[in-house]
């Protein structure tokens, strides 16, 4: 581990502590290494416009794991439009019993994810190139997932009417990240076969004025 990795890890422990999240030093080091490798690849792939360590920790990492208390902690998970691996990789690190597929339509980002997860030594996590529209039609993925996450994807009715019913196991949940102000956007009106809206759960990131929220639907 480099001095920079340790510096990031100390910051992560500080910010997670302020946010009321308990993680181990090993988890902090893994989260730190994820950030460090992302920044190393960023000039080539434009993985993120946020490059300040503290801002990355708050806006990417904490935003990924603060809603974890509302989500399954084990089972099969699918992170759609994962990009640089948020929220899938942090969720895997804090909930190691999750078996996660990281799905993205960019081959270059999937190459980054493969290299990064290998460098972290993570098991039970699979970067995969593809579009959710095609993935949702794969027969071997039907009714498989206990959790589907979408953080950097615009929510569409088709996610509730087609994607979630096809891929979620019974009692599985679809979680979508958004700004708290979007709670009036009518997302709760999206309905699908056997899908029930569970609510929108707000949280506040350290140092931020705008509240965030995660919307959750459950397959009945």
Q: Where along the chain do its domains lie?
A: 67-219
What's the token pair of residue 175? Answer: 């979680």
Q: What mean pLDDT value characterizes the chain?
A: 93
pLDDT beyond 90 at 185: no
- Look at residue 1 in the predicted model and tell me its pLDDT: 54
- As a whole number, mean pLDDT of residues 83-103 equals 98
DSSP secondary structure letters along 121-146:
T--SEEEEE--HHHHTT-GGGTT-EE
CB 96 within 8 A of CB 74: no
- Provide the CATH topology of domain 67-219: Rossmann fold (3.40.50)
Block residue for tokens 């700004």: 179
What's the rounded Cα separation, in Å, for the pair 16 and 57?
9
Helix 3-18 and helix 25-45, axial crossing angle in degrees, nearest 10: 110
Reported as a single tens digit per residue, the pLDDT across 198-211 is 988 999 998 888 89
Give, for 198, the enclosing helix (H) or strand (E): strand 195-203
- pLDDT tens by residue, 140-174: 999 999 999 999 898 888 999 899 999 999 999 99
Quickly state the pLDDT bin for 182 (edges 50, 70, 90): low
């Amino acid at each position: 581990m480099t001095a920079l990795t340790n510096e990031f890890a100390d910051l992560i422990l500080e910010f997670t502590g302020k946010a009321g999240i308990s993680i181990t030093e090993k988890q902090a080091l893994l989260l730190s290494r994820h950030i460090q490798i992302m920044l190393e690849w960023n000039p080539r792939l434009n993985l993120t416009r946020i490059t300040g360590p503290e801002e990355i920790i708050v806006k990417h990492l904490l935003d990924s794991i603060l809603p974890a208390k509302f989500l399954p902690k084990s089972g099969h998970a699918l992170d759609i439009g994962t990009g640089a691996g948020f929220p899938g990789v942090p969720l895997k690190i804090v909930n190691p019993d999750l078996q996660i597929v990281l799905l993205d339509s960019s081959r270059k980002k999937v190459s980054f994810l493969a290299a990064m997860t290998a460098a972290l030594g993570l098991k039970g996590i699979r970067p995969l190139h593809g579009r959710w529209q095609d993935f949702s039609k794969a027969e071997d993925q039907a009714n498989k997932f206990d959790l589907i996450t979408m953080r950097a994807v615009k929510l569409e009715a088709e996610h509730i009417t087609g994607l979630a019913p096809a891929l979620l196991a019974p009692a599985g949940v679809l979680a979508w990240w958004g700004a708290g102000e979007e709670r009036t956007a009518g997302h709760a009106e999206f309905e699908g076969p056997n899908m029930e809206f569970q609510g929108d759960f707000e949280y506040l990131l350290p140092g931020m004025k705008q509240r965030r929220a995660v919307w959750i639907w459950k397959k009945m």
